[in-house]
Amino acid sequence: MNRKILLVMGILCLLVFFTACSSDEPVKIIEDEKPIVEEKPLTGIQLGDLVEMNFVLYGEDGRVVDTNNKEIAEQAKLKTYSSGTYKFIVGQSSKVKGFDDSIIGLEKGDEKTLDIPASTNKIELEFDIETTESRAKTIQRKQRFSLNSFEQVFSKPPIIGDIVVNMDKFPWPYKILAISNNSALGEIFIKEGDEVTLPATQWKSKALQVSELAIQFFQNPKQGQIIETEFGTAIMEIARSRMKKTHNPILGKEFFYTVPSGEMISPRYEFRIIDISDEKFIISRINWPEQENLKLEVEILDVLSNKEITKMKLLS
């Protein structure tokens, strides 16, 4: 009896299963659906094309940053510019980042004004009007130079044991201790009691203690000494172990300033003083178009596609 009941139930289950499978609504396996992207044919200027055009590139304040128009360049007092119609391979212009990409898709005869967004952050540095520091200053005795910068600074490749001098950049000679694949290790060549003008100072400092690793100097500015700085003048006030520098910055002053870094030879950029308060002043990097949202006016005179260039090379 039990076997008959089980058999009947099994047959009923099979009938239900086949009925479901044979219904008008098929069974679907649900998968993650990927959006279908319609591929459109590329038209207009593309990477690798040879383009001839006229252009004017403007900064955020409306000044002319670059152009191939001689009259506009002279009015803007540009030091360097491209004269005559500008011809270049798209992707190889060496202009500001985004310059080449901005004209992709344009056609011969187009006259457009295009936006080029900033490709790097602005550099703004804040300083105190008054700064106080110790008259004692410690400098590492061993300093490392990249091989490229070494030859630029000392006008010759490094040689172990050699003593090199560039008094325009460093107030002391260096003795070369070691050379690697990409750098040279130099040791400041100085003895106790020597007096030098330390970098970024305008007074003498005496070497009080010289060890294998470091040199301790004692700075000797005069009381009330007025010094020249990138920002304007400053006055020095001297105590036994400390000294105070009070800046007198000039709003709008433009100058070159060495940005602090871990390198022996740090980069120098052009800055302007943009704000002064009772306690602080701010400088901002200028003449660096990559940090601005730019406008590009272009007139496309001619376009030779990459394919046409390749054909011409094959035929030549």
Using an 8 Å Cβ cutoff, are 129 and 137 in contact?
Answer: no
Q: 182 with 145: CB under 8 angstroms?
A: no
Q: What is the pLDDT of residue 4?
A: 52
User: Is there a single domain that holds both residue 114 and residue 128?
Assistant: no
148 occurs within a structural domain = yes
Q: What is the pLDDT of residue 20?
A: 42
Question: 146 pairs with which residues across the strands?
Answer: 183
Task: Mark whether 131 and 278 lie in a shared domain.
Answer: yes
244 in a structural domain: yes
The confidence score (pLDDT) of residue 310 equals 86
Shared-domain flag, residues 128 and 257: yes
153 and 276 share one domain:
yes
- Per-residue model confidence as pLDDT tens digits over 275-309: 999 999 999 999 899 999 999 999 999 999 988 88
What is the structure's pLDDT at 16? 41
What total number of domains does the chain contain?
A: 2
Residues 116 and 138 in one domain: no
Torsion angles phi and psi, residue 192, rounded to 5: -60, 140
CATH number of the CATH domain containing 111: 3.10.50.40
Residues 76, 205 within the same domain: no
Say how far apart CA 76 and CA 216 lie, in whole Å.
49
Do 85 and 226 belong to one domain?
no
307 and 206 in a common domain: no
- pLDDT of 218: 98
Query: What's the domain range around 79?
Result: 50-120+290-315
Q: Which residues of 169-187 are buried (b: 16+ CB within 10 A; e: fewer)?
A: ebbbbbebeeeeeebbbbb
**In a shared domain, residues 283 and 294:** no
Same domain for 134 and 273, yes or no, is yes
Q: Please report whether residue 99 resides in a domain.
A: yes
Of 136, 128, 158, 132, the residue nearest 146 (C-alpha) = 158
- Is residue 22 one of the residues assigned to a domain? no
Domain presence at residue 21: no
97/57 Cα distance (integer angstroms)? 12
Same domain? 221 vs 159? yes
48: left (phi over 0), alpha (psi -120 to 50) or beta: left
**265 inside domain:** yes
Same domain, 247 and 149: yes
pLDDT for position 107:
96
Residues in the chain with pLDDT < 50?
1, 6-8, 13-41
User: Considering the domain boundaries, does residue 17 fall inside one?
Assistant: no
pTM of the model: 0.64
Does a structural domain hold residue 34? Answer: no
